[in-house]
Structure 1
Amino acid sequence: MLSHCYFLISEHKPVDITSLSQHFHREERNFTPGQRMPTSVIFNYKDGVYAIDSDSEDTSKNILTWLGTLLEKFLTMSKAEFTTYLRASPPLGEEEEDPMREAYRYAKSEKFVMRSQLDCVDRRLPGTGVFDIKTRACLPVRMDILNWEENSGYLIKSAQGLMESFEREYYDLIRSAFLKYGFQVRIGNMDGVIVAYHNTAKLFGFQYVSLDEMDQHIFGSEPGTGDRVFQKCSVKCTFECEEDSKELNVWVQPAEWVPTGEDTEPPMRQLSIRAQSFLSESPVNGARAINGSSTMPWTLHWSISHLSDNQEEIRRNFGKCMERKFRAYSLPTGVSFEDLPQYWSELNFGNEPKPEGQQAEDQLILPANFDYSKFRLPDERVRTLRDLARSGREFSEMLEKKEAGRKKVVLGEPYEISDNEIEIYNTQEDWDIHENVQAAVALSDNQPPPSSDSTGFGLLGSSASVANDVTDPADSIPSEEEILDPFDDAADETVELEALLPESSPVTDADDFSRSIHSLPPESLPVDGESELDPRAKE
């Protein structure tokens, strides 16, 4: 609701992505369709006060709704305490439940009171030190939610790049989440949010994003701009500010309606809201007002009008709004249209699990009026994302096989190599040679390893890293031969390079290898055509 109000006031001001790498210079700068989608809320009336709740659909079918809540507990609880929340654990008794209430902070604007839930506090942060936890599923999982299990193979491999990178997820956050996050952080008087990137199977890393950083991408570089942008019964309101439109449309109808006589449908009203910004006494567009509001007085004039009393016209407009809100699910891999009714009836992430006997009975009673129009075959973009997820899973399985038996590395804890691990390292000589050759080639090209840029990537850890940015999704999909034996390409390179190294200086790691390569006299290095090593290494 607040997002659509912002679209109206700002006149659809684009986001700022200038701090991202060149991979995104030609990408869209508007808000995502999901962010602009019409939204509905319920105004619950009681004793002269309206309480606003979201009008959400069946959340038991959306794994991310429940996984987000679960991951917040996973990141803030001990293992023993977290285990009690799993479905496999017996339900807690009343005496075992946590008696502590959820923490909230409230904000007031005239007669309007808002609240925001508080997650964490760290005194090292400026201001109140309070921040929120946000879990962010990677691109294929968000775009293809029913196929989440297969898409959990998708990997984040690099800091920057158009696909399979932290920068890609950050770009999507700017366009689809920072506006909402900013409202929550402001209401709760928080400093920012910490984002945990995941694919539903593993966590890739964490990034802290302050409110100032979010404001810079949404409102612009001017500091403090974001602080200035913003018969009685229960009613349901649907808000939509279409892209490039200067009107915010609101459809209002009773939340509960009992048909009487010929009135089978609840009455509905359509409101049209317009806004005009002024800097001093001069009318300006919304984007100009936001950019210049810190130096000049900013006032906002608004008007609300009823478009029509014609119920047929109002419902026709509302129907078009609902069409724009509709997003079809892509069929998950292995599920046909014939299997859909049973698959959909069994899909349940949020409700209590049913007994096995009850599940068998439900499988026999399938819905007679199942709506197939909610589903579609995966399009080309979804198929590409699924290919990336499958290749990422194969890559992960290869790494797990290579690292089997090694002790886990834990941040902040001492690490000692066991005799068993030394034996494993000796059997992985090809892998080490391959890494050393790649390091030497990168240094000969004067290409430093990838580093974070001004977007503020602050990663505590990641599951994998790749030296080169990914610019084409198809380029990142390894062939079957590359997956089966990733060391064949290194064999020819290492024969010549090892022959050039002094016998008294064994190579122990990538740094030693690089120093050895650069200590060789230029005349001893291969010339063009003699090796796949870049000829610029001679310099």
Structure 2
Amino acid sequence: MRRLIPANTGVWLQRRWQSTPRRARQQQPTAVTALAENAVSDISAKWQKLAATPFLNEATEPLDVSRIPKLAHGLDKVLFRPGPHFMVDPLTGRSQFNKWIKDICQPEEFNYDAQPEYKIASDDVVSQQLALQHGLKYTSSTSSITAALAKTYLLVAQGKQVNRRHFSPALVTQPTRFTNGTRQPVSVILRYRNGVYAVDSDKDPDEKWNILQILGKSMEKALTATPEEFDMYRKGNEHQLTPENMDKDYHRYAKIENFLLRAQIDCYHPKLPNKTFDLKTRGTLPIRMAPDEYLDNVDYKITGKDGVLQSFEREDYDMLRSAMLKYSFQVRIGGMDGVFVAYHSTAEIFGFQYLPLKTMDRWLFKNSVTGDQAFAVSVKLLQAAFDAVTKEFPEQDVRVTLAQEDGLEHRQPLTVWAEPIPESPVDAQPAAATPLTLHTIHTASIHNGRLVTGALHLLADGTDDWAVEYRVSKSGKSPTELRDAYLSVRDQMENNGPAAGQHLRFLDEIRQACGLREHKKAVMASL
């Protein structure tokens, strides 16, 4: 029998989690805030106006459905039945889908080398050629650009928080702000390639992937393959693979304003309004919080639809605060219908849910009219930020960092830091000598002729008029002031999250509330 979780568990856990000194510190203005507020030495910077419409979002070629995978194992019924679907019915104990899909193939058993290699934008010749062909300035993949788009959205959202009204009272104690990961600074690299700037995520190429990233690719394969097809990708079965039956990724290339954006199309169903959709594999709460300790948390299971812990509802609410904004942007870039989510513990799958874009829009923006226009404005503002950087450093590789003061988003501009990257390590200069610029972007939303001072919601019938006035200003502060503030922003990126051991202690409080055993690592962390 399922152990009942005390009614006040959510309040207790949330107070413990939010009362840390680190969170208190994040609410205080810093040197970066002061610098941004006083950065406008460029008195020539003028306010400009942009509107959500007209907005260019057009595929460069028709969809080739013959190259797109389809769901297997009877999973397609999830697409047309709203809400979460248990893998195993909790009342009858019967599997609702092919039992084979329940147990997850572990990384050491899967031949990842047999899957298509991911190409960053600067290595994607096809994207660069299409951008040149269509006269576009920037190119990127969805995975590299959506975090940056989230920053420009949060700028115009003025501290908007998520709405709990679509969830049960069990989650009334949960925070309504977007997560730290969504609000933290974002860094990308603009690489100049033959007349086009390719937008790459600024990640260490030697960075170790965590378990959720690793399993994402193999689980997507399992969702769309028969057991016999999947077995060819297990280690030891390499001889069964031929060039004809190996996977080949399919992408949609789209002209979106001055961007040529590439979106991988995961799946297809002819009866969906927009035919295609994305596959997402979502690890449970403790797995996401501590992916390096995932083996210690595979006993945390989803046992109910609603509730503050061990429920689909909690996973959906966390998704709303962390990933759904980027999901909605990815779907729009790919011209897709929605996302298919598989909920798992890295050891087993607990269930599935299909979230159409309309549902995500209702949770995020209240309606799709607001969602469409928020996406359009976010793209145009990001383009303005990149234009300011490339004007400053033309035809160069540049690292761009976007940041907004944490906890003060409702009244803070977006800071856009740019530093050129040397062509080779030999050309590298000491950090203090490297050119560094800071631009700040201030915005004001005008709704039906009036200044918006809070969260914006447009009518679903599309009759509202929304425009954004913005100003991009260059700071004239000294190189020393700029460098010190910039290092503070970069440090915030690298040290985002709870202090060492804190997440383990919090995890153990969750485990105790669920009646699960205590972790030795959590005990050590508390000493």
TM-score by length of 2: 0.61
Q: In structure 2, what is the equivalent of residue 493 of structure 1?
A: none
Write the distance in 1 (CA, Å) between the matches of 2:338 and 2:318.
18
SS at match of 1:224: helix
Match of 2:418 among 244, 248, 252: 252
Deviates more, 1:100-109 or 1:169-178: 100-109
In the alignment, structure 1 residue 112 sits paired with structure 2 residue 112: no
Deviates more, 1:281-290 or 1:374-383: 374-383
In the alignment, structure 1 residue 282 sits paired with structure 2 residue 407: no
In the alignment, structure 1 residue 54 sits paired with structure 2 residue 92: no
In the alignment, structure 1 residue 380 sits paired with structure 2 residue 526: no
In the alignment, structure 1 residue 152 sits paired with structure 2 residue 190: no
Q: In structure 1, what is the equivalent of residue 515 of structure 2?
A: 477
Q: Tell me by how many angstroms 1:263 deviates.
A: 3.6
CA contact (8 A) 2:190 2:198 kept: yes
SS at match of 1:380: helix
**Kindly tell me: are residues 257 and 310 of structure 1, through their superposed partners in 2, closer, same or farther at Cα, counting changes over 3 Å?**
farther
Alignment of 1:37-186 (within 5 A): 37-57=184-204, 58-90=206-238, 95-96=242-243, 98=245, 101-125=248-272, 127-186=273-332
Write the distance in 2 (CA, Å) between the matches of 1:67 and 1:326.
24
Deviates more, 1:74-83 or 1:320-329: 320-329
Q: In structure 2, what is the equivalent of residue 226 of structure 1?
A: 371
Q: In structure 1, what is the equivalent of residue 55 of structure 2?
A: none
Write the distance in 2 (CA, Å) between the matches of 1:376 and 1:35.
22
Q: Tell me by how many angstroms 1:121 deviates.
A: 1.1
Q: In structure 2, what is the equivalent of residue 453 of structure 1?
A: none
Write the distance in 1 (CA, Å) between the matches of 2:351 and 2:332.
25
SS at match of 1:300: strand
SS at match of 1:206: strand
SS at match of 1:185: helix
Write the distance in 2 (CA, Å) between the matches of 1:75 and 1:329.
32
Q: In structure 1, what is the equivalent of residue 488 of structure 2?
A: 320
Q: In structure 2, what is the equivalent of residue 34 of structure 1?
A: 181
Unaligned runs of 5+ in 1: 331-373, 389-472, 481-539
Could you give the per-residue CA deviations for residues 406-456 of structure 1, whole angstroms, max 9, x where no partner exists? Answer: xxxxxxxxxxxxxxxxxxxxxxxxxxxxxxxxxxxxxxxxxxxxxxxxxxx
- RMSD across aligned C-alpha pairs, in angstroms? 2.7
Write the distance in 2 (CA, Å) between the matches of 1:102 and 1:261.
37
Alignment of 1:131-530 (within 5 A): 131-220=277-366, 222-229=367-374, 230=376, 231-242=394-405, 243-245=407-409, 246-256=412-422, 258=424, 263-265=429-431, 266-285=434-453, 287-288=455-456, 290=458, 294-327=462-495, 376=501, 379-385=504-510, 388=511, 474=513, 476-477=514-515
CA contact (8 A) 2:369 2:459 kept: no
**Kindly tell me: are residues 24 and 258 of structure 1, through their superposed partners in 2, closer, same or farther at Cα, counting changes over 3 Å?**
same
Unaligned runs of 5+ in 2: 1-147, 377-393, 519-527
Matched pairs, number: 347
Q: Tell me by how many angstroms 1:99 deviates.
A: 6.3
Could you give the per-residue CA deviations for residues 116-151 of structure 1, whole angstroms, max 9, x where no partner exists? Answer: 1111111222x2221111000000011011101111
Q: In structure 2, what is the equivalent of residue 7 of structure 1?
A: 154
Write the distance in 2 (CA, Å) between the matches of 1:296 and 1:281.
10
SS at match of 2:189: strand
Q: Tell me by how many angstroms 1:378 deviates.
A: 5.1
Q: Tell me by how many angstroms 1:255 deviates.
A: 3.3
CA contact (8 A) 1:156 1:165 kept: yes
Q: Tell me by how many angstroms 1:315 deviates.
A: 2.0
Write the distance in 1 (CA, Å) between the matches of 2:427 and 2:401.
26
CA contact (8 A) 1:145 1:329 kept: no
CA contact (8 A) 2:413 2:442 kept: yes
**Kindly tell me: are residues 255 and 86 of structure 1, through their superposed partners in 2, closer, same or farther at Cα, counting changes over 3 Å?**
farther
CA contact (8 A) 2:398 2:420 kept: yes
SS at match of 2:299: coil
Q: Tell me by how many angstroms 1:309 deviates.
A: 4.7
Q: In structure 1, what is the equivalent of residue 63 of structure 2?
A: none
Q: Tell me by how many angstroms 1:196 deviates.
A: 0.2
SS at match of 1:316: helix
Q: Structure 1 vs Structure 2: percent identity of aligned residues?
A: 35
Q: Tell me by how many angstroms 1:109 deviates.
A: 3.1
CA contact (8 A) 1:10 1:290 kept: no
TM-score by length of 1: 0.60
Write the distance in 1 (CA, Å) between the matches of 2:271 and 2:427.
64
Q: Tell me by how many angstroms 1:98 deviates.
A: 4.5
CA contact (8 A) 2:370 2:457 kept: no
Write the distance in 1 (CA, Å) between the matches of 2:435 and 2:283.
40
Could you give the per-residue CA deviations for residues 223-268 of structure 1, whole angstroms, max 9, x where no partner exists? Answer: 4211111242121111122343331111112233557899422322
SS at match of 2:261: strand
Q: Tell me by how many angstroms 1:82 deviates.
A: 2.1
Structure with more contact order per residue of length (Cα contacts < 8 Å, sep ≥ 6): 2
Write the distance in 1 (CA, Å) between the matches of 2:483 and 2:350.
46
**Kindly tell me: are residues 207 and 281 of structure 1, through their superposed partners in 2, closer, same or farther at Cα, counting changes over 3 Å?**
same
Q: Tell me by how many angstroms 1:103 deviates.
A: 1.6
Q: State the structure with more CA Rg.
A: 1
CA contact (8 A) 1:11 1:244 kept: no
Could you give the per-residue CA deviations for residues 356-375 of structure 1, whole angstroms, max 9, x where no partner exists? Answer: xxxxxxxxxxxxxxxxxx95
Write the distance in 1 (CA, Å) between the matches of 2:312 and 2:222.
22
Write the distance in 2 (CA, Å) between the matches of 1:201 and 1:175.
25
**Kindly tell me: are residues 24 and 64 of structure 1, through their superposed partners in 2, closer, same or farther at Cα, counting changes over 3 Å?**
same
Deviates more, 1:167-176 or 1:277-286: 277-286
Could you give the per-residue CA deviations for residues 466-494 of structure 1, whole angstroms, max 9, x where no partner exists? Answer: xxxxxxx52x30699xxxxxxxxxxxxxx
Write the distance in 2 (CA, Å) between the matches of 1:382 and 1:294.
44
Q: In structure 1, what is the equivalent of residue 103 of structure 2?
A: none
**Kindly tell me: are residues 278 and 79 of structure 1, through their superposed partners in 2, closer, same or farther at Cα, counting changes over 3 Å?**
same
Q: In structure 2, what is the equivalent of residue 368 of structure 1?
A: none
Q: Tell me by how many angstroms 1:24 deviates.
A: 1.1
Q: Tell me by how many angstroms 1:19 deviates.
A: 1.4
CA contact (8 A) 1:9 1:286 kept: no
Q: In structure 1, what is the equivalent of residue 36 of structure 2?
A: none
Could you give the per-residue CA deviations for residues 334-360 of structure 1, whole angstroms, max 9, x where no partner exists? Answer: xxxxxxxxxxxxxxxxxxxxxxxxxxx
Write the distance in 1 (CA, Å) between the matches of 2:427 and 2:349.
57
SS at match of 1:67: helix
Write the distance in 2 (CA, Å) between the matches of 1:328 and 1:285.
29
